[in-house]
């Protein structure tokens, strides 16, 4: 009985935390409907759908959002693959260079963003590499890599290797074993790492601001607009990102209910 | 179930992950050292100084002679500094056949400079033909390091004819060698009339213990230094190092007295319009826009003095299309184009004829639009009065590196304690 | 055959990450480290003098902000751990098939730009805003009560912004725990607390370590929360690094400060790893 009560309490608590994290998003959504008269969008002046109709009125903002999404998706995929591999290696195997790998992973996390951005810019300038979407993606992979490695390793460490041995004894090849046994076992870690990588990428300002050349991302565009007032279209775009996310979450929940 | 665990608390596999492979790491360190050496090579000679003196007229003429228009121009500006339909730029293209690329890539002077500096130092073009920077430390460094192209004023007839005299030959760029203004703004006191019942006229209000914890100041050293100096009755342009020290001491006293709530960047305007601070250093254009929104904020240039700053157009070294850039810069000085920009930007224009043009335009409008435009034409925040102008001063701009460092150090010690 | 393959496997797995770290991290960071030993200024240039005085000067001038950052980051991390563990626990064991939905919902607010989140918090927490305004009019709070522009706001902001980075790894580690194991402990008449302490907690420690690493370190170096939510006297070391680099263009001081911060954080990480029972990894790495 006590157990059930405790579970309900924790369930409620979890939703409370979600509500707390989401509270500012509610404000953002509301101000996407604000019929503001001047450039500033900070006091409520009436309801309108205007900003939804004029969502793509500013082409540079739209372009920035598209850039952000593109970089986030590509860098998340790259980071997840590279990071999962290193996380697996570190959590499962003994090999030369392990201590150094750990050191690099920790060092990359502890590098202040500004230092990472500035040092990458010097590298690209000395290499005469044109800055743009590619260099932004490279940088995003770099700073999210450690987060994926650490998350995946937290899952891999202590997993029972006997399943994989059994699969191999049954004649499964390395790739088959990985696909059918290892990957499903570490999947929660991989997914969590990927979500962290996506969140880190789509929200990054400091590092991106060094390596972007003249390409703008969503956070960069918004930061620039702060001086003169953020147009409500930004709120609407935020709302759409959030809405699509919620839709995915709900679809996922319904799908999993059907499966049961 | 507990078989794999020797210790009840620690997962041994986890430990292994953390501690393994001591034997091999020495070799890794050599490899790391190799990479490190490559890194050191990147910066082996340190950063070379390139301080430059002002160019001779013959050098300027030499640079421009034989330069042709290329039919293309890339304009890097701050967001919200050009109507969304890019009207002025489209007109320019129609008239001249020069295609434009307009990029809103400048969010802050310091970060723009911080990012551009390594490229310019390496002699690589930024990829922009026109950039816009405020007349602060970074602009001064652009000049001193020779990162700007000296302008050919023979190709800027509209600037010569239409810019107000007070926007020509500014102290921060004598003879407009490198820049012409894009738009200006004032730094004064912004206050919330819901909380501050008395009309504010003096800068001393910012130091008044009765507003303890409700005063906002700006974090930027040049901005806050001016207000410290005004409070002591010192003109910023004439201030000595000893004056800076006095001003910093005055500002430190203000902070330690608990009067200052926070040193703001651009977010002061939200704070004052919500009442988090009751009065604060503020910029004219911000306050004007809040007034349009019906928010209870007022703006005053204190009787002791206020600051005028200017965002300037300039051509960075290595620009591919300097002639096209000059043509566009000059085009923006046509009165009717300047009027269109001012109507959108709502900061102070360097072209005085704009006021009459907008007054005439307002007369032809109806309803809400008419009211809004009339309010703008009449606002001293967009068109400061002559009386206001006499109170306005530029920033303190120390030229010597040692002085710059001392200046920044004094005021950052106040704002970043 | 198989043995040979197994011996090669970790290297193949680690290789892509190594390449990435080598080119885009080690080389540029080393260059940055060499800048920290130069002297000069932006206008006259910086000369390599291999002088460590930048470190002494930077620490001497800014140790207050450095220590403050460690305190803020540490406090926020402890709060995050306390807040996050129950959430991760509940999702891992009771989330059922909706586990990933809950995780996704926790992270979703962070897909929207921090500028928007911060502006919204500013709106909610304004001195006379929709939360505190009514409480003040009702006399439940003193008139000069405020949260913004205090150290509480900075630590709260750090806690808010990094919380998912604590929840996810703990969840991931807990997810490995077979619920039947816990049932078994109950069957053996272990109390709930004993079952947690003896079975669940040890198994989750890799997750806790990962979580602390991913929150304490970035929170301590963070420049954003102090700038947006802090008041006078809340400046953190991340802000100082930013000012030295961007505003003053004093690259040597900025990099010296950064490497000092990194060194302090790395020592902290390894000390923490050791306190969890491991040997000194730094020592291992340095051989």
Distance CA B388, CA B305 (A): 9
Mean pLDDT, chain A, whole residue set:
89
The answer to whether C268 and C216 are in contact (CB under 8 A) is: yes
Scan residues 385-414 of B and list those with Cβ closer than 8 Å to A: none
Contact A196 C165 (CB under 8 A): yes
Reply yes or no on whether the pLDDT at C231 is more than 90.
yes
Contact B28 A99 (CB under 8 A): yes
Per residue, the 3-state secondary structure of chain B, as one string, reads CCCCCCCCCCCHHHHHHHHCCHHHHHHHHHHHHHHHHHHHHHCCCCEECCCCCCCCHHHHHHHHCCCCCCCEEEEECCCCCCCCCCHHHHHHHHHHCCEEEEECCCCCHHHHHHHHHHHHHCCCCCCCCEEEEECCHHHHHHHHCCCECCCCHHHCHHHHHHCCHHHCCCCCCHHHCCEEEEEEEEEEEEEECCCCCCCCCCHHHHHCHHHCCCEEEECCHHHHHHHHHHHCCCCHHHCCHHHHHHHHHHHHHHHHCCCEEEEECCCHHHHHHHCCCCEEEEEHHHHHHHHHCCCCEEEECCCCCEEEEEEEEECECCCCCHHHHHHHHHHCCCHHHHHHHHHHHCCECCCCCHHHHHHHHHHCCCHHHHHHHHHHHHCCCCCCCHHHHHHEECCCCCCCHHHHHHHHHHHHHHHCC
Q: Is residue B401 part of a domain?
A: yes
Cα dist. C195→C88, C190, C244 in Å?
Answer: 17, 6, 51
| Percentage of chain B lying above the pLDDT 90 cut | 75
- Which residues, including other chains, have CB under 8 Å from residue B193's CB and lie 6 or more apart? B296, B297, B298
Contact B79 A96 (CB under 8 A): no
Reply yes or no on whether the pLDDT at A82 is more than 90.
yes
Residues B361 and B408 in one domain: no
Note whether C107 contacts B: Cβ–Cβ < 8 A. no
| Percentage of chain B lying above the pLDDT 70 cut | 87
Specify the pLDDT at position B11. 39
Reply yes or no on whether the pLDDT at B5 is more than 60.
no
The average pLDDT across C258-283 equals 75
Residues B62 and B149 in one domain: yes
The answer to whether A205 and A223 are in contact (CB under 8 A) is: yes
Residues B295 and B359 in one domain: no
Residues B192 and B240 in one domain: yes
| Mutation target vs C (from A4, A11, A18, A21; most C CBs, 10 A cutoff) | A21
| Mutation target vs B (from A55, A151, A212, A226; most B CBs, 10 A cutoff) | A226
Neighbours of chain C (3+ CB pairs under 8 A): A, B
Bridge partners (DSSP) listed for residue B280? B190, B216
Q: Which residues of A touch C164 (CB under 8 A)?
A: 21, 196, 199
Reply yes or no on whether the pLDDT at C277 is more than 60.
no
- Which residues, including other chains, have CB under 8 Å from residue B20's CB and lie 6 or more apart? A94, A98, A99, C284
Residues B121 and B239 in one domain: no
Reply yes or no on whether the pLDDT at B347 is more than 60.
yes
Q: Would you say the C-alpha torsion B289, B290, B291, B293 has a positive or negative sign? A: positive
Cα dist. B258→B216, B228, B417 in Å?
Answer: 11, 16, 13
Residues B95 and B213 in one domain: no
The average pLDDT across C111-135 equals 88
Over residues C8-66, the pLDDT tens digits come to: 889 999 999 999 999 999 999 999 999 999 999 999 899 999 989 999 999 999 999 99
Specify the pLDDT at position B36. 63
| Percentage of chain C lying above the pLDDT 90 cut | 63
Q: Is residue B410 part of a domain?
A: yes
Domain count, chain B: 2
Q: Is residue B199 part of a domain?
A: yes
CA A120 to chain centre: 21
Q: Compute chain B's Rg from CA coordinates.
A: 26
Residue C271 or B396, more confident = B396
Over residues C66-117, the pLDDT tens digits come to: 999 999 999 999 999 999 999 999 999 988 888 888 999 999 999 988 888 8
Q: How far is B269 from chain A (nearest CA, A)?
A: 9
CATH code of the domain covering residue B274:
3.40.190.10
Specify the pLDDT at position B6. 35
Reply yes or no on whether the pLDDT at A40 is more than 80.
no
Contact C97 A259 (CB under 8 A): yes
Reply yes or no on whether the pLDDT at B35 is more than 70.
no
Specify the pLDDT at position C42. 92
Q: Is residue B34 part of a domain?
A: no
Q: Is residue B179 part of a domain?
A: yes
Residues B101 and B221 in one domain: no
Distance CA C280, CA B36 (A): 23
Q: Which residues of B touch A91 (CB under 8 A)?
A: 13, 17
Contact A106 C89 (CB under 8 A): no
Specify the pLDDT at position A172. 85
Q: Is residue B23 part of a domain?
A: no
Q: Is residue B19 part of a domain?
A: no
Q: Is residue B5 part of a domain?
A: no
Instruction: Please state the CATH superfamily assignment of the domain spanning residues C62-286 in this structure.
Output: MetI-like (1.10.3720.10)
Q: In chain C, where are the structural domains located?
A: 62-286
Residues B399 and B266 in one domain: yes
Residues B148 and B194 in one domain: no
- Which residues, including other chains, have CB under 8 Å from residue A128's CB and lie 6 or more apart? B124
Distance CA A237, CA C266 (A): 39
Report ipTM for this prediction: 0.89
Reply yes or no on whether the pLDDT at B9 is more than 60.
no
Residue B1 or A23, more confident = A23
* Long-range contacts, stretch B227-231, CB < 8 angstroms, 24+ apart: B227/B187, B227/B203, B227/B251, B227/B281, B227/B307, B228/B411, B229/B396, B230/B203, B230/B302, B230/B304, B230/B305, B230/B306, B230/B393, B231/B203, B231/B204, B231/B206, B231/B207, B231/B304
Residues B211 and B228 in one domain: yes
Residues B335 and B287 in one domain: no
Distance CA C102, CA A195 (A): 12
Contact C243 B412 (CB under 8 A): yes
Note whether B154 contacts A: Cβ–Cβ < 8 A. no
- Which residues, including other chains, have CB under 8 Å from residue B89's CB and lie 6 or more apart? B75, B82, B100, B102, B328
Distance CA B375, CA B365 (A): 13
* Six-digit token string for B65: 């002679």
Specify the pLDDT at position B37. 62
Contact B13 A95 (CB under 8 A): no
Q: Which residues of A touch C29 (CB under 8 A)?
A: 107, 111, 115-116, 119
Neighbours of chain A (3+ CB pairs under 8 A): B, C
Neighbours of chain B (3+ CB pairs under 8 A): A, C
Domain that holds residue B104: 58-184+310-367
Contact A23 C10 (CB under 8 A): no
Reply yes or no on whether the pLDDT at A29 is more than 90.
yes
**Residue B265's pLDDT band (cuts 50, 70, 90):** confident
């Amino acid at each position: 009985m006590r157990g059930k009560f405790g579970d309900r309490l924790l369930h409620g608590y979890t939703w409370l935390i979600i509500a707390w994290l989401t509270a500012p998003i509610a404000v953002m959504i509301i101000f996407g409907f604000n019929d503001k008269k001047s450039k500033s969008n900070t006091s409520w002046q009436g309801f309108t759908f205007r900003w939804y109709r004029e969502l793509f009125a500013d082409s540079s903002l739209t372009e920035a959002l598209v850039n952000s999404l593109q970089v986030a998706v590509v860098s998340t995929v790259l980071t997840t693959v590279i990071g999962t591999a290193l996380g697996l290696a570190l959590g499962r195997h003994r090999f030369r260079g392990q201590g150094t790998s750990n050191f690099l992973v920790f060092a990359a996390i502890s590098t202040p963003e500004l230092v990472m951005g500035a040092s990458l810019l010097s590298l690209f300038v000395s290499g005469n590499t044109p800055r743009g979407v590619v260099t932004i993606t490279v940088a995003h992979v770099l700073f999210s890599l450690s987060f994926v490695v650490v998350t995946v390793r937290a899952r891999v460490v202590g997993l029972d290797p006997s399943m994989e041995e059994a699969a191999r004894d049954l004649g499964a090849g390395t790739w088959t074993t990985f696909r059918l046994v290892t990957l499903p076992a570490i999947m929660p870690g991989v997914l969590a790492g990927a979500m962290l990588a996506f969140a880190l990428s789509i929200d990054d300002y400091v590092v991106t601001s060094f390596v972007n050349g003249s390409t703008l991302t969503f956070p960069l565009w918004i930061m620039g607009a702060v001086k003169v007032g953020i147009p409500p279209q930004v709120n609407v775009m935020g709302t759409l990102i959030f809405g699509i996310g919620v839709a995915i979450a709900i679809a996922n929940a319904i799908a999993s209910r059907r499966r049961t | 179930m507990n078989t794999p665990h020797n210790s009840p608390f620690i997962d041994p596999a986890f430990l292994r992950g953390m501690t393994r492979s001591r034997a091999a790491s020495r070799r890794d360190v050599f490899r790391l050292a190799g990479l490190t050496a490559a890194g050191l090579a990147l910066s082996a000679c340190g950063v070379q100084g390139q301080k430059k003196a002002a160019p001779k007229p013959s050098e300027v003429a030499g640079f421009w002679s034989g330069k042709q228009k290329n039919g293309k121009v890339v304009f890097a500006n701050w967001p919200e500094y050009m109507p969304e339909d890019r009207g002025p730029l489209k007109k320019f293209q129609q008239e001249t056949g020069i295609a434009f690329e307009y990029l809103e890539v400048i969010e802050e002077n310091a970060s723009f400079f911080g990012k551009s500096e390594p490229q310019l130092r390496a002699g690589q073009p930024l990829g922009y033909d026109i950039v816009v920077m405020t007349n602060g430390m970074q602009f001064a460094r652009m000049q001193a390091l020779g990162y700007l192209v000296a302008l050919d004023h023979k190709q800027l007839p509209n600037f010569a004819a239409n810019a107000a005299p007070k926007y020509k030959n500014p102290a921060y760029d004598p003879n407009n060698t490198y820049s012409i203004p894009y738009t200006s703004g004032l730094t004064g006191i912004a206050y919330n009339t819901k909380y501050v019942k008395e009309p504010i006229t003096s800068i001393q209000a910012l130091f008044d213990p009765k507003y303890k914890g409700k005063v906002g100041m700006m974090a930027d050293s040049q901005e806050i230094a001016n207000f410290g100096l005004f409070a002591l009755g010192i003109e910023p342009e004439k201030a000595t190092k000893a004056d800076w020290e006095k001003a910093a001491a005055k500002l430190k006293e203000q902070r330690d007295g608990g009067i200052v709530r926070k040193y703001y960047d651009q977010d002061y305007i939200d704070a004052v319009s919500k009442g988090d601070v009751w009065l604060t250093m503020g910029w004219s254009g911000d306050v004007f826009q809040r007034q349009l929104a019906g928010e209870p904020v007022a703006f005053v240039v204190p009787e002791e003095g206020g600051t005028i700053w200017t965002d300037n157009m300039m051509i960075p070294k290595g620009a591919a299309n300097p002639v096209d850039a000059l043509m566009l810069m000059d085009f923006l000085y046509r009165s009717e184009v300047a009027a269109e920009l001012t109507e959108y930007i709502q900061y102070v224009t360097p072209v005085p004829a704009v006021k009459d043009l907008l007054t005439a335009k307002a007369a032809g409008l109806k309803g809400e639009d008419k009211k809004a435009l009339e309010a703008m034409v009449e606002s001293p925040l967009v068109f400061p009065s002559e009386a206001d102008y006499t109170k306005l001063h530029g920033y303190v701009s120390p030229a010597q590196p040692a002085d710059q460092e001392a200046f920044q150090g004094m005021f950052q010690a106040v704002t970043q304690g | 055959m198989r043995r040979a393959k197994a011996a090669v496997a970790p290297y193949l797995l680690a290789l892509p990450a190594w390449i990435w770290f080598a080119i885009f991290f080690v080389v540029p960071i080393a260059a940055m480290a060499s800048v920290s030993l130069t002297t000069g200024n932006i206008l006259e240039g910086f000369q390599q003098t291999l002088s460590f005085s930048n470190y002494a000067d930077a620490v001497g001038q800014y140790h207050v902000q450095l220590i403050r950052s460690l305190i803020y980051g540490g406090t926020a991390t402890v709060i995050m751990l306390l807040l996050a563990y129950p959430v991760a626990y509940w999702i891992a064991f009771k989330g059922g098939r909706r586990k990933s939905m809950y995780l996704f919902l926790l992270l979703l607010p962070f897909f929207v730009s921090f500028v928007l989140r911060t502006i919204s918090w500013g709106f909610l927490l304004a001195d006379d805003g929709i939360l505190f305004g009514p409480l003040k009019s009702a006399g439940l709070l003193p008139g000069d009560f405020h949260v913004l522009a205090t150290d509480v706001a900075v630590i709260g902001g750090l806690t808010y912004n990094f919380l998912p980075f604590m929840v996810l790894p703990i969840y991931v580690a807990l997810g490995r725990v077979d619920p039947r194991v816990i049932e078994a402990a109950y069957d053996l008449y272990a109390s709930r607390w004993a079952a947690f302490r003896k079975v669940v907690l040890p198994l989750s420690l890799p997750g806790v370590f990962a979580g602390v690493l991913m929150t304490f370190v970035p929170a301590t170096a963070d420049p954003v929360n102090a700038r947006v939510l802090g008041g006078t006297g809340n400046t953190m070391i991340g802000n100082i690094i930013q000012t030295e680099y961007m505003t003053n263009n004093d690259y040597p001081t900025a990099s010296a400060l950064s490497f000092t911060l990194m060194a302090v954080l790395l020592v902290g990480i390894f000390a923490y790893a050791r306190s969890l029972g491991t040997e000194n990894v730094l020592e291992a790495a340095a051989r």
